Chain A
Amino acid sequence: MTQLASRPAAAPGTSGPAPLRTAPMTPQTVLSRTVRYVLLSLISVVVLTPFAWMALSSLKRNNEVFTAPITWFPDEWQWHNYIDIWTKADMSTWLGNTIFLSVTVTALQVLTGSFAAYGFSRIRFPGRDALFLVYIGTIAVPWQAYMIPQFKLLSEVGLADTRLSIILLQAFSAFGVFLMKQFYDTVPEELSESARIDGLTEFGIYRRIMLPLSVPSISALAILTFTNTWNDYMGPLIYLRSPDLWTIQLGLKTFIGQYNADYAAIMTGSVLSVLPIAVVFALGQKYFVQGIASSGLKG
C-alpha cells in the first residue's frame, strides 16, 4: 500500500480521463484494465451492500425496513432511533463493559506477549525451541475443542461470571507471542550485542532498543487484539451470565431476541456495535494488513 501512496503518477482524487502515461496503452491493456475495474466494483458492491443496508435501515421507521419493491432510503430520516435505543436497551452498560475489557486485554496482551516473544527470540534456555513449537501447535488446536475443560477450570477457581475470566481468556494467547517473535527475529543480533558490550542489561536492551523499534508490530498486535476482544461473542456467552457484565455482542444478541420484530432498532444497535471497530479499522488499516501478513494468524 505504501507503493501506491508514493506513486506520483496516480494523484489521488483526480477525476476525468486517466493522465497519459509514457508507455503507450494497447487496446488489450485498456480492455483488461476495464474488466478488472468492473469486476472489482461489482465485488465491492456485493461486499459492502449489507453494511449500507444496515446503516440505512437503522434510520427508517420499523415498517419501512421490509418493503416490496425495496426502498433504499428512508422516507424521513429517523435520527431519533439512535437516541431511543439507549432507553430500550442497556447500551451504556454493554459498551462500558466492552470498552473496559478490550482496553485491559489489549494492554495485557501487548505487555506479556511482547515480553514472552522477546524471550523466545533472544534468550537461550534449554528446551526453548520445543516449547515454542508447543505454543505454535496450540494455535492449530481449535479453542472450541478445549473450551469445556477451560470453563470447568475457571469456574472451579470461582472465576465464572467475572470480568476477570474474559481477561484471562483473551490476554495470554499464543498468537501475540507468535506475531511479536516474527518481528524480533528480524532485528539483527549485533544490535543487542553491541548494547550488551556497552553495559545495558537484558531488560535495558528490551526497553531502550527493542521496544522503540517494534512500535509498528505492537500497533498491529494492539489493533488486532482490541478488535478480537470487542467482537468476541463465544467467550462472554459462556462466561458472563449476569446482565450487568454483558458485552455489546452478548447484549445485542439478547436485544435481537427480545425485540425480534423491531427491525429498525436491531439495525440501530448493530450499527452501534460495528461503528467503533469501523473507526479503529479506518485509522489503523495498514497495521491490520501488516499484522496479518507477518503472522498469518488470527482467531
Chain B
Amino acid sequence: MPNFLGFVLLTLGPVLALFYIAFTKWSAFGSPQFTGLENFERLIGDKIFWTSFGNTLYYSAIHIPVTFVVSLSLALLLNEKMRGRAFFRSAAFFPYFTSIVAVAQVWNMLFSPEFGPVNQLLRFIGLENTPDWVASSTWAMPAVIIVGIWRDAGYFMLLFLAGLQSINPELHEAAKMDGANWLERIFNVTIPGLRPTMFFVTVMLTINSFKVLDLILVMTGGGPGNSTLVLSQYIYRMGFERNDFGYASTISVVLFALCMVVTIIQFAYNRRAEK
C-alpha cells in the first residue's frame, strides 16, 4: 500500500516528530539538542509571538462569522430552482480555484491607495478619508480579511448546498401548507435541518482561519511592520528564514494545540446541543 507508506512517512511521522523537536534547540547546522522547556519560556517572553497570536485571532474573529453568514446566505439564495443558477454558483466559487498569487496581486492593485479602483469607488460615494489598505498597519488586516472572505465564501457555500440537498422537501411543503412564509420556513425548517452541516462548516472554517498563511505571505508578507503577521507565518519565518527549527516547532505546537482545543470544544458543544 504505497499510499499508506507515504502517509506514515510524510504526515504521521512529521506530526509525531514535531512534539520532540519543539523541545530542542536545532539550528541550520548540527542535530537537535534536547533543552526541555527552554523554548516555551522563550515563547512566553516573545512579544512578536504574541502579536502573531493576536493577529491570528483577529483574522479568525472576523473571517469565521462573516464567511459563515455570507456562504450560508448564498447557499439559501441559490438552492431554489431558478434560471441562471449554475452561472451564479460557478461565479461564487470560482475565486477559490484560482491562483492565490495572481489573486492577491490583483487585489493589492485594486486596494492601491491613490488610484486603486476600490478607493476611487469609495471617493465616488462620498468618502473623504479613504483608507490606505495594505499600505497602512491599521487597514492591512481588514484588506486581507476581505480577500479571505471573497475567496472562501463560495467554497463553504458548496458545503451548505450539499447539506441543503439532504433536507426532506416534504417538510417544506408541509410548512408551506401551514402558511409559513419564506423566512419562517428558513428558520423553522431549513436551519434546524442544516445543523450537522453548520457544525462541520464551523469546524473547517475555524481550522482554515487559524492556519491562514499563503494569502498573507503573498499579499502583505506580514506587514506593514508586523501588523498582519499570523502564527503560520511566524513558523515559516523562524523555520525557513532564520533556520531556527526547534523554536519554529514550538510555535507549531501552539498552532496545533489551538486547532485541536477549539475543535474538541466544538465537538463537545455539538454533542451537548444534540441531546
Instruction: Tell me the interface secondary structure of chain B in the complex.
Output: helix
Instruction: Say if the beta carbon of B88 comes within 8 Å of chain A.
Output: yes
Instruction: Say if the beta carbon of B43 comes within 8 Å of chain A.
Output: no
Residues from chain A with Cβ under 8 Å of B103 in the complex:
50
The 9 closest A-B pairs by CB, nearest first: A172-B6, A270-B102, A142-B211, A293-B162, A116-B3, A112-B3, A66-B115, A149-B14, A144-B232
* Contact with A152, one of B159, B161, B162, B245 (Cβ below 8 angstroms): B245
Task: Check if B89 sits within 8 Å of A1, measured CB to CB.
Answer: yes
Interface stretch, picked from B57-65, B92-100, B185-193, is B92-100
Could you mark each residue 32-72 of chain A with 1 if its beta carbon is under 8 Å from any beta carbon of chain B, else 0?
11001101100110111011011001000000011111100
Instruction: Say if the beta carbon of A267 comes within 8 Å of chain B.
Output: yes
Min CB gap B153→A, angstroms: 8
Interface residues of A in 94-142 (CB under 8 A from B): 112-113, 115-116, 119, 134-135, 138, 140-142
Interface residues of A in 221-275 (CB under 8 A from B): 227, 230-231, 233-234, 237-238, 248-249, 252-253, 256, 263, 266-267, 269-271, 273-274
Residues from chain B with Cβ under 8 Å of A270 in the complex:
99, 101-102, 105-106
Task: Check if B101 sits within 8 Å of A150, measured CB to CB.
Answer: no
Task: Check if B120 sits within 8 Å of A234, measured CB to CB.
Answer: no
* Contact with B15, one of A70, A141, A266 (Cβ below 8 angstroms): A141
Task: Check if B81 sits within 8 Å of A145, measured CB to CB.
Answer: no
Additional pairs, 15, CB under 8 Å, beyond known A37-B84, A233-B218: A40-B78, A66-B112, A66-B116, A115-B3, A138-B12, A142-B211, A149-B249, A152-B245, A172-B3, A172-B10, A237-B217, A248-B99, A270-B105, A285-B86, A293-B158
Residues from chain B with Cβ under 8 Å of A281 in the complex:
90, 94, 97
Instruction: Say if the beta carbon of B7 comes within 8 Å of chain A.
Output: yes
Residue on A nearest B109 in the bound complex, by CB: A263
A148 and B200 in contact (CB under 8 A), knowing A43-B92, A233-B218? no
Task: Check if A292 sits within 8 Å of B239, measured CB to CB.
Answer: no
Instruction: Say if the beta carbon of A298 comes within 8 Å of chain B.
Output: yes
- Which B residues form the contact surface with A (CB < 8 A)? 1-7, 9-15, 17-18, 21, 74, 77-78, 81-95, 97-103, 105-107, 109-110, 112, 114-117, 120, 150, 154-155, 158-159, 161-162, 165, 182, 200, 203-204, 207, 210-211, 213-214, 217-218, 231-232, 235-236, 239-240, 245, 248-249, 252-253, 255-256, 259-260, 263
Residues from chain A with Cβ under 8 Å of B110 in the complex:
50, 53
The 25 sampled A-B contact pairs (Cβ below 8 Å) are A40-B78, A44-B91, A47-B92, A51-B98, A53-B109, A53-B117, A66-B114, A141-B256, A141-B259, A142-B211, A146-B256, A148-B249, A149-B18, A149-B249, A153-B10, A168-B6, A176-B3, A230-B99, A231-B100, A233-B218, A249-B101, A252-B102, A267-B109, A277-B98, A278-B98
* Chain A contact residue count (CB 8 A cutoff): 90
Task: Check if A140 sits within 8 Å of B259, measured CB to CB.
Answer: yes
Task: Check if B95 sits within 8 Å of A233, measured CB to CB.
Answer: no
Residues from chain A with Cβ under 8 Å of B218 in the complex:
233, 253
Residue on B nearest A119 in the bound complex, by CB: B1
Residues from chain B with Cβ under 8 Å of A177 in the complex:
3, 7
Which of A146, A172, A177, A293 has the largest number of chain B CB atoms within 10 A?
A146
Interface residues of A in 157-215 (CB under 8 A from B): 168-169, 171-172, 174, 176-177
Task: Check if B255 sits within 8 Å of A145, measured CB to CB.
Answer: yes
Instruction: Say if the beta carbon of A87 comes within 8 Å of chain B.
Output: no
Task: Check if A296 sits within 8 Å of B204, measured CB to CB.
Answer: yes
Residue on B nearest A47 in the bound complex, by CB: B91
Task: Check if A273 sits within 8 Å of B158, measured CB to CB.
Answer: no
Min CB gap B5→A, angstroms: 8
Task: Check if B259 sits within 8 Å of A145, measured CB to CB.
Answer: yes
Which of A43, A46, A237 has the largest number of chain B CB atoms within 10 A?
A43
Q: How far is the CA of A43 from the CA of B149 in the complex (A)?
A: 13
Task: Check if A113 sits within 8 Å of B3, measured CB to CB.
Answer: yes
A153 and B17 in contact (CB under 8 A), knowing A53-B106, A116-B4, A274-B102? yes
Residues from chain A with Cβ under 8 Å of B112 in the complex:
66
Task: Check if B200 sits within 8 Å of A296, measured CB to CB.
Answer: yes
Which of B94, B200, B218, B240 has the largest number of chain A CB atoms within 10 A?
B94
* Contact with B14, one of A43, A146, A238, A252 (Cβ below 8 angstroms): A146
Q: How far is the CA of A44 from the CA of B94 in the complex (A)?
A: 10
Task: Check if B158 sits within 8 Å of A231, measured CB to CB.
Answer: no
Min CB gap A39→B, angstroms: 7
